[in-house]
Amino acid sequence: MISGRCAACKNQRRKCPSDCIFSPYFPANDPQKFACVHKIYGGSNVGKMLQGIPTYLREQTANALYLEAKWRIHDPVYGSVGIISSLYEQIKNAEIELAKIQTQITFYKLQTQHVEAEPNSEVLQSQSSNMEQFEWDNPTIASWFN
Amino acid sequence: MGGNSPCASCKLLRRRCTKDCAFAPYFPADEPHKFAIVHKVFGASNVSKMLQELPVEQRADAVSSLVYEANARVRDPVYGCVGAISYLQNQVSELQMQLAVAQAEILCIQMQQQVEEDPPVMMMMMPPPQLSNENELSHHHYFTTFGSSSTNNVIHDSFKRQNVFGHDMVS
């Protein structure tokens, strides 16, 4: 049974050997995948890159190359670097926002602690006025200090 | 530039560097690693095609981003830039989660403060208890009335118990 050619061999108009390095990762039913990587990296470069990778990692490599190629086609000037740059910007903005909110939380917490401390001073003041009254009302005790 | 000093690409490709060399403005001779790495990953002819498809003023940025991508691919032959993007996306998600938690916390604090500043309306609207004896009022002014009848009964009973002037308080 003759199996069909992979997308790479179809694109290159050649026979697809049984040990074709591209065929597991560039199936015939997804011609766009190989077309993208071929446009950006070139077929032979992709083959060289895949050969330098252990077999169990080649699928991830082919998929990552496809993604980068797609992003480069979509943005010919910046490619995936444009996405990285945008993510750094998002991170920076989120960190600034987070720092602002955390500062506000700290401020509110300090405010609450200050308010909770205040009633104690009122109690102390009323106690001291009660003490003064006590001394005046009790001549015996008042005499101890005279 | 052409002439005596070939650019980095023409040096590597061992060819004559002409005056209108497409690579010369972006791959100077003193930075040979720049061209070497883009050639390794993309291939010289692909880089040349990509640059030719761009307006001249965008070519320097394109070269910089190609060098960056090629470096990432050499550092991580499996994932290249995709690995960095994945990592950064996780960071963004993590920060967004922290932001959501912090925003919820501050909302909580603000609501708590609002409740403290504006106490429940019900307590303000209930009239003070009617007492026949003004002296009783001065001793029991700290009692407040509530909505439930059981609470009213408790308050009524406490008025009776704390009868310091020797006569009953019957409301």
Domain parsing of chain B, residue ranges: 8-75, 79-113
Half-sphere exposure of B93 (CA within 13 A, CB side): 6
Write down the residue that tokens 């509530």 correspond to. B146
Lowest mean pLDDT across A16-25, A45-54, B148-157: B148-157
A79 at interface of B, judged by CB pairs closer than 8 A:
yes
Q: With contacts defined as CB-CB under 8 Å, which chain B residues touch A80?
A: 69, 80-82, 85
- Point out the residue among A39, A52, A90 whose CB comes nearest to the CB of B92: A90
DSSP state of B15: -
Percent of the residues in chain A that have a pLDDT greater than 90, as a whole number:
71
Hey, what are B112's tokens?
A: 């708590």
A100 at interface of B, judged by CB pairs closer than 8 A:
no
The pLDDT assigned to B128 comes to 67
User: Mean pLDDT, 10 residues at a time, over chain B (171 residues)?
Assistant: 76 92 94 95 95 96 97 96 97 97 92 78 63 46 37 37 37 38
The pLDDT assigned to B123 comes to 56
Q: With contacts defined as CB-CB under 8 Å, which chain A residues touch B102?
A: 98, 101-102, 105
Helix, strand and coil content of chain B, in percent to the nearest 5, comes to 65, 0, 35
The pLDDT assigned to A125 comes to 55
Say if residues A64 and B82 touch (Cβ distance below 8 Å). yes
DSSP state of B129: P
Q: What is the ipTM of this complex?
A: 0.73
Integer Cα distance of A22 and A8 in angstroms: 6
A101 at interface of B, judged by CB pairs closer than 8 A:
yes
Q: With contacts defined as CB-CB under 8 Å, which chain A residues touch B41?
A: 41, 45, 49
Residue A112: is its pLDDT beyond 90?
no
| Confidence category of residue A135, pLDDT binned at 50, 70, 90 | very low
Q: With contacts defined as CB-CB under 8 Å, which chain B residues touch A44?
A: 43
The pLDDT assigned to B166 comes to 37
The pLDDT assigned to A144 comes to 43
CB pair distance less than 8 Å for B109 and A101: no
